[in-house]
Amino acid sequence: MRHLSLLSLGVLSAALLSGCQQPSATAPGAPRGEQAMRHLRYLNDTIGTRVQGTAAEDQARAYIAAQLRDMGYQPQVQPFEITRKNKAGETRQVKSANVMAVQPGKSEQEIVVVAHLDSVAAGLGADDNASGVGVLLEAAQALHGQQLPYTVRFLAVGAEEGYSDGVQNGFRNDGINGSSFYVGQLSPEALHKTLFVVNLDSLAAGDFLNVYGSEGADGYVRDAALQLGQRLGYDLQTSPGLADEFPAGSTGDWSDHAPFAAKGIPYAYFEATNWSLGDKDGYTQTVKHGGIWHTAKDNLAFLNREFPGRTEAHLKAFSDVLIHLLEAPPTR
């Protein structure tokens, strides 16, 4: 009921006088990004650091499932195991899981919106990636029950971040586990009906709003998002292609779009960063403080103090563009 307390009496009585239904947080004119911000705050303040295979990662998953259930979805949890190895060749199994919910559309063809729910051990994962989870949940709420052209699957994945126990020759594993597991268990038919994927990773801290996409003709989702950004009045940009490895408009295979892209599924990938800095590979997010992700600076108090208003503005812009993209998805 939090959203009702945010409405001024004037808005409420005007709605009642005009015979409208009770306004909701997702009604036209509701402040976009506010729900995303609420989720980010909960993940940052109440749960905090969410390393793969820990109780905190579990708590984050349970929170997302509960939020989706409250919206009217029937969330499904998809467990998987991760193997950590050390240099002596020993292995350890760790449990993680994805959580997802589906909004059926007119077509069974499906768009997947993915965001990772885990974080590294440093910081509270406000930017990386409570911001992405927040925008995913805001879109899920805004679109619940709508007549969408395509089915949309909201997929919050575990264990995107790599792991190292910090001991020399200790146990470690690479990341991108949850999305790899999701893609790996798809039948050929399910793979075929996946139209494209939208990855949300680290939306809050970086200097500029970016969207990347597949190279060539499969880049149509990125292009549609760029057009939407322009139409909605946001300064949404793409990678300039200053480093040889990343042609303009594309990016590296370091996040949850990668397992989809490896199967030939077109992607769009939203991220806030600054491509003019450092090695010009998008890794140095800000002029003021360099990279925020994977450092102790990745917490909401730091972001609010050093970049006042930025997190709110970014979540608003990304939520707005994503929701419009899902309401009227582009076709190739």
CB of 49 vs Zn ion, minimal distance in Å: 13
Helix crossing, 220-232 with 310-327: angle to 10°?
A: 120
CB of 146 vs Zn ion, minimal distance in Å: 28
Local structure of residue 193 (DSSP, 8 states):
T
In the list 201, 207, 256, 320, the residue contacting Zn ion (rule: CB under 5 A) is 201
> Interacting stretch for Zn ion, rule CB under 5 A, among 129-137, 144-152, 191-199, 238-246?
129-137
Query: Which tokens sit at 122?
Result: 């440093």
Select 128 or 138, whichever has its Cβ closest to Zn ion: 128
CB of 116 vs Zn ion, minimal distance in Å: 6
> Interacting stretch for Zn ion, rule CB under 5 A, among 122-130, 169-177, 265-273, 322-330?
122-130
CB of 48 vs Zn ion, minimal distance in Å: 16
Asked if 285 touches Zn ion (CB under 5 A), the answer is no
Which of 172, 178, 171, 126 has the alpha carbon at shortest distance from 156?
178
Asked if 127 touches Zn ion (CB under 5 A), the answer is no
In the list 49, 96, 129, 286, the residue contacting Zn ion (rule: CB under 5 A) is 129
Q: Are 140 and 154 in contact (CB under 8 A)?
A: yes
Q: Which amino acid is at 323?
A: I
CB of 283 vs Zn ion, minimal distance in Å: 12
Asked if 271 touches Zn ion (CB under 5 A), the answer is no
**Which residues, 6+ apart, have CB-to-CB distance to 254 below 8 Å?**
176
Asked if 180 touches Zn ion (CB under 5 A), the answer is no
How would you label 160-177 residue by residue, b for 16+ Cβ within 10 Å and e otherwise? Answer: bbebeeeeeeebebebbb
Mind giving me the DSSP string for 21-72? PPP-TTSTTS-TTHHHHHHHHIIIIII----TTSHHHHHHHHHHHHHHHHHT
In the list 127, 128, 207, 298, the residue contacting Zn ion (rule: CB under 5 A) is 128
> Interacting stretch for Zn ion, rule CB under 5 A, among 22-30, 120-128, 138-146, 295-303?
120-128
Which of 56, 206, 32, 44 has the alpha carbon at shortest distance from 130?
44
- CA–CA separation, 164 and 207 (whole Å): 29
Select 50 or 84, whichever has its Cβ closest to Zn ion: 50
Select 105 or 206, whichever has its Cβ closest to Zn ion: 206
> Contact letters (x/-) for Zn ion, 76-115, by CB under 5 A?
----------------------------------------
Q: Which residues bind Zn ion (CB under 5 A)?
A: 128-129, 201
